[in-house]
A and B are shown apart, each in its own frame.
Chain A
């Protein structure tokens, strides 16, 4: 019941996001002499450049988070790690209570100013939801499936690949989706530590009290977040096998 409701909400959300995106798009194209049109005329060059920067920042940091988070989650979920994994995840949990801005600030002390510390900060913020969901997803694979697999003569790595990961995929994907959403939303802060991205327009707009400049950064950021969520939603729908995909 609850799961069903969540799924419906999920579907509704991605449809809504898509609809809003289209409306914004139409606004951008058709609103040549409207307010949005003015912004576009003034800032189109900045926007196109900064969107690429923004996407680079988000793509690299979440890509790295996925690359590290999945193996880490798998490792923590192994039976022989059980003694330590809850403690480790507790440490991670405390880590999330630290505000992202603080993490970014702290990464300056380690890596200085620029693109690298920005990626690092975003990577840290994104890593936890991924690790936790991978871990959770794998631990929730029913024990009897693993027993059946062992009893039929599968070796541990094969069980992980053919049974555990496919059955944990939905929960893992949910973690990645959350992580990327956080990442896209946090990325504007990267500007504060010398990373590029749409934050440049937003914060400069705030400082200059220039509403148009601010919106030139904020609207694309919002659109990017929705687009990312929509694309991941589609990927979740199509990539996860039908037998374990509650959406299908």
Chain B
């Protein structure tokens, strides 16, 4: 847990004036969550972060890290108990990857063998082969590999709290996405308490359990990404989040959140007349045909089968595409637009048919807040 209470920082300028870099910042990052400190440059987010591990001395206020008031702890000891990742990565060029990872364990006086073993395990965690990388020097690694090592170095001594200062800022967008995903996967297991500075709103939405937006040293809003996007507190936040902030929420919601878990379906052997009845009864204009074990195979459109007879397998059309229930709505909407359709059949990892998602249901979910939308969208099946 990280708790800041009325934390302030005033820098004296050479002319005798002063600049307030952080003004009475109070916030709390609960155990196991990622809090993204977000804002334009010069807003005080980095200053706030660096006050937590004492790299910048605070002017007033108090800081608790993992239950301890930092004033009562020796700063050097405090820093050894907090993982720290910086934008420039900061791997020491004179040390091998192994020694770089072992810096903090060595400082803490761990058994050398134990520390080295841990370095190997951590490398495996980020998909780098220890046999290849342990003895290499930083300059022999690509930027993305260095960044991964930078992150696991911070994790080496298993600190409960991590401070990350734009940790993925120096990597190309493709690699950044990959590393972000890897990191989130690791975080799911590790449950560290993380303060994470970023200036990239998309990164903040993706990584943050909570987002703290700073402006001119003030903490303006501190909320979950979804609440922030749904209810920006003022014009500054709204404009900072961007005019497309509603669309940004698409990546926060999953298909399963708005899916109509409809059990209406037909099999290939069913009679067309039965399919027609089922559609009319449910008020749908389309119905999905499933295979013998329930995999989505195709669909029928009401208009196409109004005057025909026979079995479903003689009349069905192939599904243009499907979407996984665990995908985010951004993916779902993108597929809908690509295939010019207003609905998608949802499947699980094995291809079993789970339900529908419709454009109407999605736009309703975006219009409402996260919690309201969490109620199933049964009412919005008419587009089907």
Contact = CB atoms under 8 A, between A and B. Distances in A.
Given A144-B88, A147-B86, A242-B137, A153 B94 contact: no
A142 B88 contact: yes
A153 B80 contact: yes
Interface residues of B, number: 28
B333 interface: no
Contacts of A169: 94
A71 interface: no
A83 interface: no
A244 B84 contact: no
Interface string B83-119: 0101111111111100000011001000000000000
B53 interface: yes
Nearest to A166: B94
A99 B96 CA distance: 45
Interface in B131-163: 137-139, 153, 163
Nearest to B83: A152
A152 B103 contact: yes
A243 B96 contact: yes
A241 B94 contact: yes
A151 B107 contact: no
Contact of B86 (A148, A162, A166, A243): A148
| Interface residues of A, dominant DSSP | helix
Nearest to B79: A153
A148 B76 contact: no
Interface in A164-221: 166-167, 169
Interface in B55-93: 55, 76-81, 84, 86-93
Contacts of A241: 94-95, 137
A125 B60 CA distance: 52
Q: Max chain A CB contacts within 10 Å: which of B87, B92, B107, B163? A: B92
Contacts of A150: 55, 79
Interface string B36-56: 000000000000000001010
Contacts of A224: none
Q: Max chain B CB contacts within 10 Å: which of A155, A169, A241? A: A241
Interface in A138-164: 142, 144-145, 147-155, 158, 162-163
Contacts of B76: 153-155
B107 A152 contact: yes
B53 A151 contact: yes
B138 A151 contact: no
B107 A153 contact: yes
A66 B85 CA distance: 37
Contacts of B94: 163, 166-167, 169, 241, 243-244
Given A242-B137, A243-B137, A151 B96 contact: no
Interface residues of A, number: 22
B79 A152 contact: yes
A243 B104 contact: no
Contacts of A243: 92-96, 137-139
Contacts of A244: 93-94
Contact of B84 (A152, A158, A163, A167): A152
B90 A145 contact: yes
B95 A148 contact: no
Interface in A108-163: 142, 144-145, 147-155, 158, 162-163
B326 to A, nearest CB: 37
Contacts of A162: 92, 95
Contacts of A148: 84, 86, 88-92
B366 to A, nearest CB: 40
Contacts of A151: 53, 55, 79, 84, 86, 163
A149 B104 CA distance: 10
Contacts of B78: 153
Interface in A218-248: 241-244
A154 B78 CA distance: 11
Q: Max chain B CB contacts within 10 Å: which of A142, A162, A169? A: A162
Contacts of A153: 76-81, 104, 107
A85 B91 CA distance: 29
A148 B107 CA distance: 14
Interface string B155-184: 000000001000000000000000000000
Nearest to B103: A152
A241 B153 CA distance: 21
- Pick the 5 closest A-B CB pairs, nearest first: A148-B90, A243-B137, A153-B80, A166-B94, A153-B79
Given A153-B107, A166-B92, A242-B137, 13 more contacts: A144-B88, A147-B86, A148-B89, A150-B55, A150-B79, A151-B53, A153-B79, A154-B76, A163-B92, A163-B94, A243-B137, A243-B138, A244-B94
20 contacts: A144-B86, A144-B87, A144-B90, A147-B55, A148-B84, A151-B79, A152-B84, A152-B153, A153-B80, A153-B107, A154-B103, A162-B92, A162-B95, A167-B93, A241-B94, A241-B95, A243-B92, A243-B95, A243-B137, A244-B94
